[in-house]
Structures are given as C-alpha cells and as structure tokens.
Structure 1
Amino acid sequence: KRTWNQHYCELILFKQQHGHCNVPQKRFHDLSLSNWVAWQRAIKRRNTMRKDRELLLDELGLHWSWVKVRHDYWNERYSELLRFKLAHGHCNVPRRSELGSWVSWMRQRRNKG
C-alpha cells in the first residue's frame, strides 16, 4: 500500500510528463493514482483535509472541481486533435495513445447520441 507521500510524488511525475494534474479516472494505466486524486478531492469537499497537504496540492496545481478538470481535459484533447490533423491531414489517431482513447470515446458518445 502506497503512502500519501508516495502518491504525491507520483502526481508530481504525472504533472512533469503531462503538464497538468488531471489524472484520468478511466482508461488510465495507474488506477491507484487516479483513485487517490479522486479521494483527495472528496476529502477536501468534506473539509477534513490536512492544511499542509491541501497547500502542497494547491501549489502543484491540482484542480479541486472535477467539472473544471473535465472541461480542461476536453479542451486539451481537442487542441491536441487539431494539431494532429494539421500534421497528418486526418483524425485517425492510433488508439494506443491517450489522444486515441479520447477520440474513440468521443466517437462512441456521438454514436450513442
């Protein structure tokens, strides 16, 4: 079982790799980290989070509102898709990438109405 500090260090690494702390809740290879981030948001909502931990997560740039996270994530993926289309002339992104997973998910949602 990972400690709070271990998860926090993993979140730092995630931010270094992705430029943000918006760990996807689904279709992410490390559900432990995404569950931990979701749990931190829940603790904050209940006003039971230690202030030192809240400050560390604030400084790292964790968004506390999941609605904001979803909005930012959608905008980031859409911008990435536009860049992909400019570079390749199409939107057929390989499904093994984070962008490809997002494009597949968007197509499924469109097909479901």
Structure 2
Amino acid sequence: GLKTRVNVGIRLAEALQEYLDSDSVRLMQTYDKAKKVDARWQARYTELVHYLIEHGNCNVPSKYGPLGNWVGEQRRKHKQGRMPQLQKEYLEIIGFALTTKRVGNEWLPDEYSKPDPKSIARIIDDEKPRHHDLPSSAPEGMKMRVRADRDLVEALQEYLDKFEINPC
C-alpha cells in the first residue's frame, strides 16, 4: 500500500544520500528541476519550432526525415489517445494541427490554428534554465538537459522576435 511505497521511497532516498557525496546531492537539489517532457521529445519539439520559424507553419511533410516521422507519430499518438496532455498543449500552443484530412493527393491539417504568443511566453518561462553556471563537475545528463532547455527557450524566443510578437 501507500505506507510501503513511502517507506521504500525513504529507504531509497537514504541509500542514495549515502551513495552520493554531499556535493552531488547539493548539485542535484540546486540545478536538477523536474522535467515536464521527455528530453528526446523536447529535442524534436525544438526542431519543430525551428521549422515553424523557417516555414511559417508546422505542416511538416511526412518525407521530411526524422522530423516528418516524429510529426506523424505525434498525430498517431493523439488519434490513439496515447498523447500526454502536456505534449498536446505544447504542440497546440505553436499552432500544430493534431488531425489531418486528405485533399487530393495530400494530407493537410484538419484545421489551422495560430501560435499563441502568451502561452509560448509561459513555456519560455517554465523551461528557462534557472542556472547558467553549472559547475564542470555536474553530471553530463544534467548539462545536456540544461542545454536542451536553453535550445528550446532560444527557439521559441526567436519565433516571437522574428514575427515581432509581444506576448503581453
């Protein structure tokens, strides 16, 4: 039950505390924020934002390499009801159409929506790395996450800047 899970969690935390030196624990508490989305998903999402900046929309063709495959997978996950709500929101915020319809020989977005600048600004604030001064001793995974957060924030800010959008 719940009590058992809590006890296991406490024992795990104690074992981790013993295993890691105090510097490592302090580093994790200071820099390691809980991630809202998976790092690989976030990397593709950042790629999609760059596509939006370059093309003015999120209509990535299926034959557009890994990004085209990823976009198709997002639509399949949504259709099957397997898409986490936060991922759905992130996609909708930048104007990504989750459903498509056949028009002649092409599959086009079922409905077009425009990116939402206020929500983009909120993502920027949520994902902005809180610390830019990670010590060189920080674990590589933590450094990669901070870089991924920074890349996403820069891409979203570039979108707002390019189209001179003021989210206020």
Q: TM-score, normalised by structure 1?
A: 0.55
**Long gaps (5+) in structure 1:** 73-113
Corresponding residue for residue 65 of structure 1: 99
Q: Sequence identity of aligned pairs in percent?
A: 29
2:76 equivalent among 42, 58, 81: 42
Q: Which 4+ residue blocks in structure 1 deviate beyond 4 angstroms? A: none
Q: Map Cα deviations across residues 1-58 of structure 1 (whole Å, 9 max, x no partner).
A: x8100000000000000000000112x3xx1000000000000011111101100001
Which of 45, 50, 61 is the aligned partner of 1:13?
50
1:24 aligns with 2:58: no
The aligned runs of 1:85-96 (5 Å cut-off) are none
Aligned to 1:90: none
Q: Structure 2: 5+ residue runs without aligned partners?
A: 1-38, 110-168
Q: Distance in 2 between matches of 1:55 and 1:35?
A: 20
The residue aligned with 2:123 is none
CA 71–38 in structure 1, closer or farther in 2 if over 3 Å, else same? closer
Q: Which has the higher contact order (CA 8 A, sep 6+)?
A: 2
Name the structure 1 match of 2:88.
Answer: 54
**Residues 1:48 and 1:71: Cα distance change in structure 2 (over 3 Å):** closer
Distance 1:25 1:71 in 2: 11
Q: What is the total number of aligned residue pairs between the two structures?
A: 68
Q: Using the TM superposition, give the Cα deviation of residue 65 of structure 1 relative to its aligned residue in structure 2, in angstroms.
A: 1.7
Decide which structure has greater strand share. 2
Q: CA deviation at 1:71?
A: 4.1
Max Rg structure: 2
If the length of structure 2 is used for normalisation, what is the TM-score? 0.38
Q: Shift of the alpha carbon at 1:70?
A: 3.0
